[in-house]
Structure 1
Amino acid sequence: MAAACARSLVKVGWTILESPALRRPGTGALLSGNAGSHVSRRSYYYGGAGPGARSGLLRSLLGGGGGGSRALSCAFLLGGGVGLYHTVKFYWAQQRQLAQVPAPDGPSPSASPSLTLYQYQTCPFCSKVRAFLDYHGLAYRVVEVNPVMRREIKWSAYRKVPILMVDEHLQLNDSSVIISSLKTYLISKGSSMSDIVRCYPEMKSVNDSGKEVTEYNNKYWLMLSQDDAAAVYPDKGMQKEEMKWRQWADDWLVHLISPNVYRSAGEALASFDYIVREGKFGALEGFFAKYAGAAAMFVIGKRLKRRHNLQDDVRQDLYKAVDDWVAAVGRKRKFMGGEQPNLADLAVFGVLRVMEGLEAFDDMMANTKVKPWYQRMQAATRNHDGCSRLSR
């Protein structure tokens, strides 16, 4: 989380220092930017600061003259630089410990491939993948990617996370493709991962902002034989229901995280206080990272609220979404999958748990009916309940 925010702060600081308005003596900090910035796939870094986001942020924060603006710019740069320093330090410390990290508790299938997950810890899409792996008791190695430099994935043409490497040679991109491919592999007999992945071809297109985007065909489908599909989805409509809510988690629920985490200046500050504690910042460097980062992400959170047409009180959108999910599960089922979670359960759980420890999460638990289901999901993933259901 600290590294992703550091990346935003460094970019914002450089934008201020390099602006023509700041370079001319006696000129106020009047910056303009492009409106078509893209949204990052990180929970607390979600909605990252592209040019339009930076200019909107700076117009809100830099109302004074050049001297005050330069001082605030330095604060942004220092805060971002400090975050980057600690991210790199944490990464190398983590690499030294990788050989000592034990596999998850519980059995894993003997035919399970070697898995390496490249991720950001607080990314909701990465959390979805971890929820799936943990539930099924699959051993995997984690590589935390530095979101500023991204050296850990410099070998990949695909520059996002999560990335899952299978047996060190097969690369799987996109959280939903990763989950669908692995689930198909665990159920099907005689199918190789290479063959399965070919069922999820890439499709490249250009979005409204003129940026090339990559999507994947069939990513919510499991590629199963008729007999396997009947065993996994014994009741009519189960497969369509699972696919519908998996897509809902990606297309709607994810977009509610950042506006709620950074809903107010106080919540933004509390979120960055958590970032500083996790990053083990010193008193002075933590001060800059905490306050500059909180200010930046508070403004970006407001932009995301407008972009996704959320209510003034974004909590209400979160509460409604979560209660809609609980209503879809119903009173007669422990999970949407029945007695055991299905892929929709794991997706929704993976997205929601990135808020744990923050005010938004506590409010959600207190003001919705999600708590019993959520606690069952915590137990199912912690105990690797999916191990006993693997047929491979």
Structure 2
Amino acid sequence: MAAACARTLCKVGWNILESPAARRSGTVSYLVGNVGAHGSRRAYGTGGTGVRSKLLSSLRGGGGRVLGCAFLLGGGVGLYQTVKYSVQQHLAEEESKVSGGDLKLTLYQYKTCPFCSKVRAFLDYHGLPYEIVEVNPVMRQEIKWSTYRKVPILMVDSDVQLNDSSVIISSLKTYLICNDKSVTDILRCYPELKSVNSSGKEVTEYSNKYWLMLSEAEAAVVYPEKGMQKEERKWREWADDWLVHLISPNVYRTPSEAMAAFDYIVREGKFGTYEGFFAKYVGAAAMYLISKRLKSRHKLQDDVRQDLYKAVNEWVAAIGKKRKFMGGDQPNLADLAVYGVLRVMEGLQSFDDMMANSKVKNWYRRVERASLNHEGRKTHSFPASDQVPSLFSPKLHHA
């Protein structure tokens, strides 16, 4: 509409300039002075007759050319602003598309869950806006609509449900790179598998969950050096299969640490008054005992801190001295996964001890800054011909 108005102003101005009265007028500079002298004091009045008479007299006296110029100038400025706004809007839409901002994301979580923290680290780093629904860990009413009863759950545009932290991260990362494919299309590459474990309990797992579904051309851009994709996948698995199992034994190492941990959990989580009291005291005692069983199951040392220090130092050694992150100059998915797992200990004694007695501090702070500053907002974009091929295409490259 703004553009139409601007074009109308230009047309009116041109018609006035082409009128006989305007062609008989004198110089523009003289007419500007003439209009200023005769019409400046009453041109902005509310009297309709006065305004019309002044306009007509200006037109008869040679003011037509000035009036035409004014219409042309106004129309030109209007067109310029319209085009400028359209360009800015187009660029904003492209930026939103590239950054994934066109998705409406809702994360169902426990704040202190390491798997939920992994997902938040990924979303924050890539600058993806999302809403959080904190789930009550006792009643879990917030996810009663879901047959999948664990967190995190990420809802995309209110109709696509993503389960499992690694599937969420892999599928969204693939979407950011190949954004001509819908999340639903990409999710088909991560089929759900159900099985019964040794305890007779049904468990759900997902195929390919550490893989990005990229074409060869896309993989070459995302992973420019040989071995980068394999390294990323290896350490993402390590974060889930080993590092995360060190958290509970360290957080609940002693009765006082267990109490402090549950005080934090109750404060940050979603509990009712009685639920919070029960969780803080009974939960702390229970988790202290459970942490001893976990220490035995995972064959940890008597001083579980030593296993934590060893693990994070192993991680830092894998990055090496020549790289800021495992991803090079920017964090990759392994960096974000390890950071997300470790972050849940912040504010607790185990975290302070880890920062003081291991080599992880500098790397951790770098990832923290990158996440807070949304440094991964820009991502790769490829021509449509190089996008994710069919699931059964020979060009499909598991990253």
Provide the TM-score with structure 1 as the length reference: 0.69
Residue 321 (structure 2) aligned to one of 312, 326, 331: 331
> Quick one: structure 1 residues 241 and 273, their matched pair in 2 at CA, closer, same or farther if it must change by over 3 Å?
same
Match of 1:249 in 2: 239
- The correspondence of residues 146-157 of structure 1 with structure 2, limited to 5 A, is 146-157=136-147
In 2: Cα distance, 1:305 partner to 1:272 partner:
19
Residue type at the aligned position of 2:346: E
| CA RMSD, Structure 1 to Structure 2 (Å) | 2.2
> Quick one: structure 1 residues 187 and 306, their matched pair in 2 at CA, closer, same or farther if it must change by over 3 Å?
same
- In the alignment, structure 2 segments of 5+ residues that lack a partner are 1-94, 383-399
SS of the counterpart of 1:142? strand
Match of 2:119 in 1: 129
Q: What do the CA deviations read for 1:284-320 (whole angstroms, capped 9, x no partner)?
A: 9977654333222211111111111111110011011
Match of 1:54 in 2: none
After TM superposition, give the deviation of residue 268 of structure 1 in Å: 1.3
Residue type at the aligned position of 1:233: Y
Q: What do the CA deviations read for 1:144-200 (whole angstroms, capped 9, x no partner)?
A: 111111111111111111111111101111000000000000001421111100000
- The correspondence of residues 160-239 of structure 1 with structure 2, limited to 5 A, is 160-239=150-229
> Quick one: structure 1 residues 186 and 288, their matched pair in 2 at CA, closer, same or farther if it must change by over 3 Å?
closer
In 1: Cα distance, 2:273 partner to 2:161 partner:
41
Residue 142 (structure 1) aligned to one of 118, 127, 132: 132
> Quick one: structure 1 residues 386 and 265, their matched pair in 2 at CA, closer, same or farther if it must change by over 3 Å?
same
Asked if the contact 2:103–2:157 (Cα under 8 Å) also holds between the matched residues in 1, the reply is yes
Residue 272 (structure 1) aligned to one of 262, 272, 295: 262
After TM superposition, give the deviation of residue 229 of structure 1 in Å: 0.5
In 1: Cα distance, 2:365 partner to 2:327 partner:
16
After TM superposition, give the deviation of residue 274 of structure 1 in Å: 3.1
Q: What do the CA deviations read for 1:208-235 (whole angstroms, capped 9, x no partner)?
A: 0011111111111100111111000000
Residue 338 (structure 2) aligned to one of 345, 348, 352: 348
Match of 1:75 in 2: none
Residue type at the aligned position of 2:345: M
Match of 2:248 in 1: 258
> Quick one: structure 1 residues 342 and 282, their matched pair in 2 at CA, closer, same or farther if it must change by over 3 Å?
closer
> Quick one: structure 1 residues 152 and 303, their matched pair in 2 at CA, closer, same or farther if it must change by over 3 Å?
same
Asked if the contact 1:121–1:144 (Cα under 8 Å) also holds between the matched residues in 2, the reply is yes
In 1: Cα distance, 2:276 partner to 2:226 partner:
55
> Quick one: structure 1 residues 337 and 285, their matched pair in 2 at CA, closer, same or farther if it must change by over 3 Å?
closer
Asked if the contact 1:112–1:138 (Cα under 8 Å) also holds between the matched residues in 2, the reply is no
Q: What do the CA deviations read for 1:12-62 (whole angstroms, capped 9, x no partner)?
A: xxxxxxxxxxxxxxxxxxxxxxxxxxxxxxxxxxxxxxxxxxxxxxxxxxx
SS of the counterpart of 2:213? coil
In 2: Cα distance, 1:357 partner to 1:368 partner:
17
After TM superposition, give the deviation of residue 360 of structure 1 in Å: 0.2
Higher deviation after alignment, 196-205 or 288-297? 288-297
Provide the TM-score with structure 2 as the length reference: 0.68
In 2: Cα distance, 1:179 partner to 1:385 partner:
16
Larger radius of gyration between Structure 1 and Structure 2: 2
- In the alignment, structure 1 segments of 5+ residues that lack a partner are 1-106
Match of 1:303 in 2: 293
Q: What do the CA deviations read for 1:105-150 (whole angstroms, capped 9, x no partner)?
A: xx85365311111111000000000000000000001111111111
Asked if the contact 2:111–2:268 (Cα under 8 Å) also holds between the matched residues in 1, the reply is no
- The correspondence of residues 99-114 of structure 1 with structure 2, limited to 5 A, is 109=99, 112-114=102-104
Q: What do the CA deviations read for 1:321-375 (whole angstroms, capped 9, x no partner)?
A: 1000000011100000000000000000000000000000000000100000000
Higher deviation after alignment, 272-281 or 179-188? 272-281
> Quick one: structure 1 residues 272 and 337, their matched pair in 2 at CA, closer, same or farther if it must change by over 3 Å?
same
> Quick one: structure 1 residues 150 and 287, their matched pair in 2 at CA, closer, same or farther if it must change by over 3 Å?
closer
After TM superposition, give the deviation of residue 272 of structure 1 in Å: 2.9
Over the matched positions of the two proteins, sequence identity in percent amounts to: 76
SS of the counterpart of 2:378? helix
In 1: Cα distance, 2:166 partner to 2:308 partner:
22
Match of 2:353 in 1: 363
Residue type at the aligned position of 1:241: E
Asked if the contact 2:258–2:284 (Cα under 8 Å) also holds between the matched residues in 1, the reply is yes
Match of 2:304 in 1: 314
> Quick one: structure 1 residues 214 and 288, their matched pair in 2 at CA, closer, same or farther if it must change by over 3 Å?
closer
Q: How many residues align?
A: 286
Match of 2:49 in 1: none
> Quick one: structure 1 residues 125 and 241, their matched pair in 2 at CA, closer, same or farther if it must change by over 3 Å?
same
> Quick one: structure 1 residues 184 and 281, their matched pair in 2 at CA, closer, same or farther if it must change by over 3 Å?
closer
Residue 376 (structure 1) aligned to one of 366, 373, 376: 366
